Every structure is written in C-alpha cells, then in structure tokens.
Amino acid sequence: MGTPRKIALGVLALVACGALVLLRMASDEPGSVEATRRALRQQGFKTDLADFDFSATAECCARAEALTDVPRSREPVLMVAEGSNSAAVLWKEASLPETEGQQLLPAIEETLEESKTELDAARDAALSGPLRFPLEARQGPTMLLPHLAALKNDAQLLGARAIVELRNEKREAAWTDLLAVTRLVSAWNPEPAEVSHLVRFNCVGTAFDVTWQVLQAPGWSDQQLLSLRREWEAVDFFKGLPETAAFARAGMVALCQLERRQPPGPRMAFTALRQSPRAIWSELARDWREYGYRHYGTYRDEKALLLYYRDRELALQRAVQSPTWAEMRQLPGVTNQGSFQSERPYSRLQMMLNQGRLARGWQMRGVGLLGMAAEAEARRRLILAAIALEHYHNRRGSYPERLEELAPEYLKSPPTDFMDGKPLRYRLLADGHFILYSVGLDTIDHGGTMPPRQSPAEIYRRSVMPGAAAEPGDLVWPRPASASAVRSSS
C-alpha cells in the first residue's frame, strides 16, 4: 500500500473519529439555544428578524424617493469659528475660500443651481409629513441603507441654500429651507440601526449650524419662531436606542443560522492530499476548524449573542432613563461598551462585530452611541433656548439679563444643560449680543470656549480608543464675529 494511500486512510479515520466526537458535543446545543430564545421571548425580547417591520405607506415611499434623488455634493462649510466663542455670519460674506476639500460660499452656488429641481422636491417632501424609508428587515445586518447618505447630503445642501438665500435677501425661502433641514431631524423616526441614529445626530449638527446662521438675521416673526420651537420640542433622541440592540440581536442570530446552512466540509484537505500530501495537516486543521465552528461553535455563539444583546438592551433601557449625561456616563457600558467575546478563537461573528465597531468608532469619535445622543440633546436644548431668546428680543428689543426670564412665556421652564443638569450657561455682552453654551461631554465648564478643530489623525485615535477623554471645550451657540475679525482671518 502506497504512502499517499496510507495517509488518506489515516486522514479519513481521524476525520471520522473527530466527527463522532463533535456530533456528540453538538447534540445538546440546538436545544440549549432554543431554550434561551424561548426564555427571552417570554421576557419580551425580540429574537427574530420577522419581529421587525420596516414597510412604509405609499405617501412615505413617495417622500423617500424625493429625498434620495438629490445629486451628491461635497460637504459645504456651514459654520466658521472665529476665535474661541464667535463665528462668521456667512451670508454677510461676499467670498470665502475653499478649505480641506469642503465647499465654502459662494463656491457651492453652482452646485445648488444644478440640483435645484431635485432639492426643491426634497424640501417639499421633508415638509409634507413623517419620514420613513421602506427597508427589508429580513436582511438584518446586511440590510441596505441608501437613504442615510442622501439625508446627510440633503441637510447640508438645504442648509447651504438657506445661507445663500439670506445673502440674496430671499428671507422666506431661507426660512423654508431651515424648516426642511429641521424636519429631517424631527420628522424622521430612524430604523433601529446604530448607523441610522448616528446619521440623525449628524443632521442635528447641521441643523444647529444652519439655525445659528438664519437667526443672525433679525425680524423673524413670532409665528415663525414658534413653529420652529415646536419642531424641536417634539424630538426625542433616546427613545429608539434600546431597539437597536434588539435588531442587532435578531440579525446576528440570523447570521448564525445562515452559517450553518453553508455547504458542509471538510473539502480542502483532500484537494491538498492530491496536490501535496505534506500540506495535508495544515489544510485538515483549517477544514476542521471550519467544520467545528459550523456544527458546534455557531450554536455557542448564537446563545452567547442572544444574551450579550439582551444585556446591551437592558443597559440602554437603564441609560436612557437618566436625566443628565453626568449620571448616564456612570452606568456600565455607556462610555466603554463591552465587546462580544466568543469562546471560539476563530469566530466569524466576532470578527464581523469587531470590524463594524471599528467602522462606527470613526463616526462616533470614540464617545459611543449614547455620548452622541447626549451631544444631540444638548444641541437641541441650545437651539430651543436660542429661539426663545430671539422671541424675547422681538418683543422687548433686547436680550434678557438671565435665562430665567424666558420662562414661562417663551419656554415652559428655564433651560437646563443635559450634560450636568445645571442651567445652560449664558452671558449677555456689552455689544448687545450673547454667548450661550453647554459644558459638553467632559462636563467641565471651559467658559464658553469651543473645542479646537481636530485633525483626522486625532479623530482616528479617539475612534480606536473607546472611553478616551472627551474633547476639551464647550458646545457653544457663539456670538457673531465682527466683520474685521472675519477679514483678518481670511
């Protein structure tokens, strides 16, 4: 009997023995996974993609089509800081240069003109009703989300157009575009995917910048300010966050089940035996890992993932009940979310989760989903306070000495900072303008100083270091910079 044939028979014997051992080990796993799933469902947790419905009405589908039809553009600059607590009123500036690949006014006017028809349709869609996008929930983590880039692009272009319209003295058109940008936040109830919430938070930042620019123009009516205030009062950034864990759980369960439906192995080892008998052992080891993971490890991973996302959902449910970021960030898993650890060293599910976490880390700047939500909530409160200040100014001819004077006529209660629960910081300046700010994620009062612009390298460092220190500086509703200050920095 030749050596290759002896090796082949030996391999077959090893495979047969290993398969018997593995089958015995795996025999109890399906029942254990099913028992875990049943227990979670009895406790009210969703475990299957069939539990989710992302369909949309015909009206929502029509709005979705209009919102996703605007040509993509480079990101425009909507806020240019001048010093530590002031910003340029862009619609007052005749020309600003292009910087770091972003479009500054008036360079973007050509883009706005080319996409006018589509942008008008997107504006009308945003203003006409609730926003929901038809999606295939059954696709789970592979679900396509083409509307996310479109919404971000819409917000930026509508915001840029509002600034251009103010410069061209088209006040009503500018206000309409501002309302449309706001509606991309207030009328959209995101599907329970982390990345969808992150895009919504990004749109909050855009709306913040555009609202600041528009409110630098005096003379908005009480009715206009009231309508804008009502939009922001209706927003809740925390309500849908626990559901992201539920959808992720159902999606990962579906991936485990899909993995088990793949064609069986081993295969590579016998190919190697024909080509190079010496490579048989390394190829056999690889095949064996794949076979073992598919028939045993996927069950272990599925059970672990069911429990991992149960704990994540519970953690999010506890966190969103916190009245302030200062309290929220003390809870487990808020600033340093624990990663999923498979007991199998070659778990494909663990590798997929780690890759996704790294990708989202860049978007979240290392502060996590809840940190981004807290920042969006702080911005929402700043916008509401700024609207109330303009409303007060309309009727009194000046801004108040203290924010407490806004309640109850212009706000139900004095505005507080979500970051630490204290009143938003406010200073009335000698020139009649004001500075309004939140202390930001570090909860340290920096006196209304905006954080320095971060380099891409610094953003990356934070994205790969969960729990890194928050950016130093405050979230500031700045004062308008003087014309001389803008000219000296340009």
> Hey, which residues does 480 pair with through a beta bridge?
87
- Would the pLDDT of 336 be above 80? no
Three-class SS of residue 103? strand
Quick check: is 71 in a domain?
A: yes
Q: Choose among 411, 471, 413, 460: nearest CA to 438.
A: 471
Provide the 8-state DSSP code for 87: E
At 11-30, the pLDDT tens digits run 555 555 555 544 555 556 78
Quick check: is 23 in a domain?
A: no
Give the global pTM: 0.87
Which of the two residues, 107 and 136, has the higher pLDDT score? 136
Provide the 8-state DSSP code for 82: E
pLDDT of residue 109: 87
Rounded average pLDDT over 39-61: 96
Residues 356 and 385 placed together within one structural domain of the fold: no
Please tell me the total count of domains within the chain. Answer: 2
Q: How far is 125 from 116, CA to CA, in rounded Å?
A: 14
Q: How far is 387 from 401, CA to CA, in rounded Å?
A: 16
Domain boundary among 329, 346, 364: 364
Domain boundary among 317, 338, 364: 364
Domain boundary among 316, 332, 364: 364
Q: How far is 236 from 185, CA to CA, in rounded Å?
A: 10
At 272-321, the pLDDT tens digits run 445 555 555 555 555 556 666 776 788 888 898 999 999 999 999 999 99
- Would the pLDDT of 382 be above 70? yes
Q: How far is 41 from 48, CA to CA, in rounded Å?
A: 10
Q: Choose among 326, 413, 332: nearest CA to 378.
A: 326
pLDDT of residue 465: 55
> Hey, which residues does 426 pair with through a beta bridge?
436
Q: What is the mean pLDDT of the chain?
A: 84
Q: How far is 297 from 292, CA to CA, in rounded Å?
A: 6
Residues 203 and 282 placed together within one structural domain of the fold: no
CB atoms inside a 10 Å sphere around CB 42:
8
Q: What share of the chain in percent tops pLDDT 70?
A: 74
At 409-435, the pLDDT tens digits run 999 999 999 999 999 999 999 999 999
Quick check: is 282 in a domain?
A: yes
Residues 44 and 63 placed together within one structural domain of the fold: no
Rounded average pLDDT over 399-408: 96
Question: What does DSSP say about strands 434-438 and 86-87: parallel, antiparallel, or unpaired?
Answer: unpaired
Phi first, then psi: what are they for 383, rounded to 5°? -60, -45
Domain range for residue 249? Answer: 30-51+243-364
Quick check: is 6 in a domain?
A: no
